[in-house]
Homo-oligomer: A and B are copies of this chain.
Amino acid sequence: MDPTARIETTLDFALRAGEAPLGPPRLAAAIRHAVFPGGARIRPQLCLAVAQACGDDAPEVANAAAAAIELLHCASLVHDDLPCFDAAATRRGQASVHRAYGERLAVLAGDALIVRAFQVLATGAVQAPDRLARLIQTIGAGVGTPFGIVAGQSWECEPRVVLTDYQRAKTGALFVAATAAGAEAAGGNPQAWRSLGHWLGEAYQVADDIRDVVADPALLGKPTGQDQTHMRPSSAKSLGLCGAIQHFEKLISAAIESIPACAGAPRLRGMVAIESERLVPKVWSQEVLRDAGLALQRLAPAR
C-alpha cells in the first residue's frame, strides 16, 4: 500500500472506532469534518517516510504513529480556529469546525481527537508492544508541555516571547515528533532523525508566515493576514519578505543535509524538495526579488 493509502486508511479506521449507532452523532460528524478531507498530511507522510528509511519492520506501528500525529495536528487546528484564538471561518477549503458545528462541539472534537491519537498508538503497538511507551513519550513531548505544540500556541498568551522558542514549539515540535516517532516505530534510532524534523518544522513555520502575507486565501483554504490581525510574531515581519524567503531556503538545505545516510535517503531528499516547492514556489522568490529591484530603481536618482 502506498503511504497516502496507509495514512488515510488508518485515519478512517481510527475515527470509525469512535463512531457507534448509540454514540452522539453530531460529535462524530464534527470529528470527521476535522480530519477529512485532509491537507497535505505532511507530518504523517514524513513519519512514514522515516519509518520506511529505517526498514519499516512493524508497519502497523508506523501507521499508528503517523495517524496519531495527524490526529493531534487536526486537534490543534480545530482549537486554534476557535473564536478565542484565530476565529477562522475556513480551514482546508471548508467551514472550520466551530463554524460548521458550533464552538462547544469544536472544543469537544479537539479533545476527542487527542484521546483517539493515543488509543490508535495503543492499538497499532500490538505488533511491537515494547515500542509503545517510548512512542507515547516522543509524540506527547511534541504536543504537550513544556515544548510541544500546545505550549507553542500558549506563547501567544505570554507577555514576553522569543520568536524562535515560539516557532520551535508551535510547529517544529510536531515535525521532530514525526521524524523521531517514524524511526522509533521501525526500531530505528530516533536521535539520528530529530534534526530533519527540526529543520523542516522551522522551514514550515517560516513558509506559513510567508504564505500568510503572499498567498491567495482560496489557494490556502484558510484566511490570510492572520499574523498581522492577531499581532503574532512572524518571520515575514521580523526579516522582511525577501529575508524570510532566503531563510526558508537555507532551512530546506539544512533539512536535506541532515538526512542520515541510508537506503531511503534519496527518496526523502526528493520528498523534501517537492514539499519545499509546494510551500514556497521558487517563482515567489523571483517575483519578490524583481519587485525589490524595481523599488530600488525607483529610489535611485535619475541620471
User: A146, B111: Cβ atoms under 8 Å?
Assistant: no
Stretch at the interface among A78-86, A238-246, A258-266, A268-276: A78-86
User: B155, A24: Cβ atoms under 8 Å?
Assistant: yes
With A84-B103, A104-B84, A104-B156 given, is the CB distance from A146 to B115 under 8 Å?
no
Candidates B28, B133, B144; contact of A112 at CB < 8 Å: B144
Task: State whether the Cβ of A301 lies closer than 8 Å to any Cβ in chain B.
Answer: no
Within A120-167, which residues are at the interface with B (CB < 8 Å)? Answer: 121-123, 125-126, 129-130, 132-134, 136-137, 140-141, 143-148, 150-151, 153-158, 165
Of A105, A137, A157, the most chain B CB neighbours within 10 A belong to A157
A27 to B154, CA, bound (A): 6
Within 8 Å CB of A103, what residues of B? 84
Within A25-55, which residues are at the interface with B (CB < 8 Å)? Answer: 25-28, 31
Size category of the A interface is 35 or more
Task: State whether the Cβ of A57 lies closer than 8 Å to any Cβ in chain B.
Answer: no
Task: State whether the Cβ of A281 lies closer than 8 Å to any Cβ in chain B.
Answer: no
* Distance from A124 Cβ to chain B, minimum over Cβ atoms (Å): 10
A211 to B148, CA, bound (A): 39
Name the residue on B nearest A111 (C-beta): B150
Of A24, A121, A134, the most chain B CB neighbours within 10 A belong to A24
Main secondary structure of the interface of A (DSSP, over half): helix
User: B150, A26: Cβ atoms under 8 Å?
Assistant: no
A133 to B136, CA, bound (A): 11
Of A20, A133, A148, the most chain B CB neighbours within 10 A belong to A133
Within 8 Å CB of A110, what residues of B? 111
Give 14 new A-B contacts, CB below 8 A, not counting A18-B145, A115-B140.
A18-B146, A20-B146, A22-B147, A24-B155, A28-B145, A31-B145, A102-B157, A105-B157, A111-B150, A112-B151, A114-B115, A121-B136, A122-B133, A132-B132
Residues of A that sit less than 8 Å from B by CB? 18-20, 22-28, 31, 75-76, 79, 82, 84-85, 101-105, 107-108, 110-112, 114-116, 118-119, 121-123, 125-126, 129-130, 132-134, 136-137, 140-141, 143-148, 150-151, 153-158, 165, 169
Provide a sorted-by-A list of 22 A–B residue pairs whose CB atoms are within 8 angstroms. A23-B147, A23-B151, A24-B145, A24-B155, A24-B157, A27-B157, A84-B102, A105-B157, A108-B150, A108-B154, A111-B111, A111-B150, A112-B145, A112-B151, A115-B143, A116-B144, A116-B145, A119-B140, A119-B141, A122-B133, A122-B140, A132-B133
Complex A-B, nearest 7 residue pairs according to Cβ-Cβ distance, in ascending order: A23-B146, A18-B145, A115-B144, A122-B136, A27-B154, A20-B146, A119-B140
